[in-house]
Structure formats: structure tokens, C-alpha cells
Amino acid sequence: MESTLTDLANATERSLWETKLACRDESFWYPYRTLPHIHTLERVCAMAELDFLQVCRGPYKRIADIGAGDGDLAFFLEKMGFSVEIIDNEYTNFNRLQGARVLKEAINSSVEIRSVDLDSQFALSSEKYDTVFFLGTLYHLKNPFLALEKLARVTTRCFLSTRVAKQTPDGQNFSPYPVAYLLAPQECNNDDTNFWIFTDEGLKRLADRTGWNVVSYVTVGEKQCSTPADPDRDERAFCLLERKRPTLSAFPNPVPAGKELGKTTVSWDTADGSIGKVYVSMDGGEEFLFADARRATAVADWIQTGPTYEFRLYNSDHTELLASVVVKGTNG
């Protein structure tokens, strides 16, 4: 019988644990299991009629595992043929990333390991990733909005999991609302790196506001009366996010000029909160800066009959074309 991806993940987990225990005592290693989540991630993909491994593939040939623990998922994905980067904060990682480094050397892995503080104005070494895994990390961040918004600028897809809740600690239902509960320092697992626990609607609103479409979404654990901190009422959301596409449009188009110059309203949205620059070229000539903003409209009131105007939306440093629209003026 052919092995499933879940079978391969489970076999990899057993092999990694053998290696771990041969290198260090059990107490040294990150205590929570990661690779069993492969089954749930496959389910998330299946809901959207997608294949997990196909979702991971793309033109950049690069994956990031953010908040990786000891790197089990990263090493498994490398085994599946991907180029992977581990990104975690060594000052909050369970063993200051020494576990990932020990494992990398022990199995002769090519996975890169980087310590990054996601609550800072962070930068990632690769300009683009095909897919980012962001599992069990969001609620450890002081500023989850910043992190998700910045990730939307460097990747097409994101597998996200985080703790969610339907009730407040005293039993009030807040599940219909797009809100988050801020934990006290020792309230959840006696861990002062736990911060925001979102409702389902809050997490979906966060994704939308930071430049993502929610492709599919499931929860596991206590689904009826989950709370932010009770270990017996723990619910986790798993979702596949896809980056929203930047938009650029002009209306009206074609532009009726009549006896005078015509005008059109140009609208754009970079979708990920970054500054976009709109340039315009007439009849394929030199580009000129028309306007810049994250999301805005601006009137071009100099459209002539005959020439063709191409408006182009670029990223802030004018190195990546995000969208374009061709505008023409007409008589009448």
C-alpha cells in the first residue's frame, strides 16, 4: 500500500525523535508535536479542492517555517523536496533555537535557520516565498497585524494556525464579534509570551485587513465553548490564506473627450498596506509619476483623443509591477 503524506510525516517524526534523543535529553527539546498537523493541513487544502504539496510549490522555490520550534516541519518539507528556511526568535524559542541547529547538523540538512523578532520592524532574507507556514505563533506576537501585513508582501500563500475562543473566561459569548482577548501574563499556560486570542470572526477580519483572502478554514479541539486560557477548553483554527491581488482601474474608460480634454478617475489598492506608486506612460513613452499611496483615487484630467495612456501600479521602490490599465480618449 502506498504511504500517504500523513504516514510519511509520522515516520519522519519518529525518526527525528530518535535523532533528538541520541543528541540530548528529552527535556531539552520542544515538547509539542508539529508533524501531526500535516493531516489537518491536508484537510484544509482538500476543502478548497487543492493538493497540499502543490500548494507549497511555486516560482520562487522557497518556503518559510515561522515559529518553527525545533524545526520538525521544516526538515519534513525539505525531505519532500523543498528549499526551506526556519524563522524564529531565539530569545523566545523553547531552547533558543539550539534544538533546530543540533538537528540540522545531525541529519546533514540544508535548511537555513534565522533568528528574527517578528514584533520588531523585521525583514526576511528572501524577497519572496511561495508559501509560509505560520503555525501556533500568532498569539505569541504583540503585534499580529504587523506580522501578517508584512508576510502578505513576501508570499503568495500562508498556512496559519492559532488559538481561538468563543467565550470569555467567565462564559460570555463573544463569538459573533470580530474581537480579540488580551491575556494576562501568566493566564495561559503560565507563559507570558501569549497575548491575543481571537474569535473566529476576529481572525478572519484580521486576515482581511492585512491583505489576505481566507481560502479555507477549520477548527479543532473544543468547538462549542472554547475560552482564551482554559487548557480543557482549547480550540485551534487552521486556515489557508491567499494574498489579495493589487488592483488598478480607471473610470470612465474609454474617456469621452468632446471639445475639451477628457478626465478619468484612477483607483488603486496595493492590498497589503504597502505604499504603491502609480506611473503613466503615453503611447509607450517615458513613465511619469502620477500619484502614490496605499489605497486612493486620483483624477487624470488631461486625457487627449487619440493617444493611449498606460497607468502602472508599482511597489514603493519601483521595482515590481503590481497592476496596469490602458486608457484611451475617444470623440463624443
| pLDDT tens per residue, range 152-181 | 999 999 999 999 999 999 999 999 999 999
pLDDT for position 118: 87
Model pLDDT for residues 115-142, shown as the tens digit of each residue: 999 888 777 655 799 999 999 999 999 9
Selecting from 3.40.640.10, 3.30.930.10, 3.40.50.12710, 3.40.50.150, what CATH number does the domain 5-243 have? Answer: 3.40.50.150
Q: What is the pLDDT of residue 302?
A: 94
> What is the pLDDT, as a whole number, of residue 95?
96
Alpha-carbon distances of 332 from 128, 161, 207, 240, 256, rounded to whole Å: 46, 55, 45, 48, 5
Cell numbers at 62, concatenated: 522557497
The amino acid occupying position 5 is: L
Give 179's contacts (C-beta < 8 A, 6+ positions apart).
198, 199, 201, 202
Cell of 271: 492590498
- Dihedral angle of Cα 67, 34, 161, 174, to the nearest 10 degrees: -110
Domain ranges of the chain: 5-243, 247-330
Predicted local distance difference test score (pLDDT) of residue 125: 59
97 grid coordinates: 533555537
**Predicted pLDDT of residue 256:** 87
CA nearest 45: which of 143, 106, 131, 174? Answer: 131
Q: Is 240 exposed, middle or buried (0-12, 13-18, 19+ CB in 10 A)?
A: buried
CATH-assigned architecture of domain 247-330: Sandwich (2.60)
Cell digits of residue 272: 497589503
pLDDT tens digit string along 182-230? 999 999 999 999 999 999 999 999 999 999 999 999 999 999 999 999 9
For residue 1, the model assigns a pLDDT of: 53
141 Cα distance to chain centroid:
14
98-106 vs 72-79: helix crossing angle, rounded to 10: 30
Burial of 50 (0-12, 13-18, 19+ CB in 10 A): middle
Query: Rg of the chain's alpha carbons, rounded to an integer?
Result: 24
- Report how far residue 282's alpha carbon sits from residue 311's, in angstroms, rounded to the nearest whole number: 9
Report the SS3 class of residue 167: strand
Q: Give 75-120 pLDDT, tens digit per residue.
A: 999 999 999 999 999 999 999 999 999 999 999 999 999 999 988 8
Name the residue among 34, 234, 55, 305 with its Cα closest to residue 156: 55
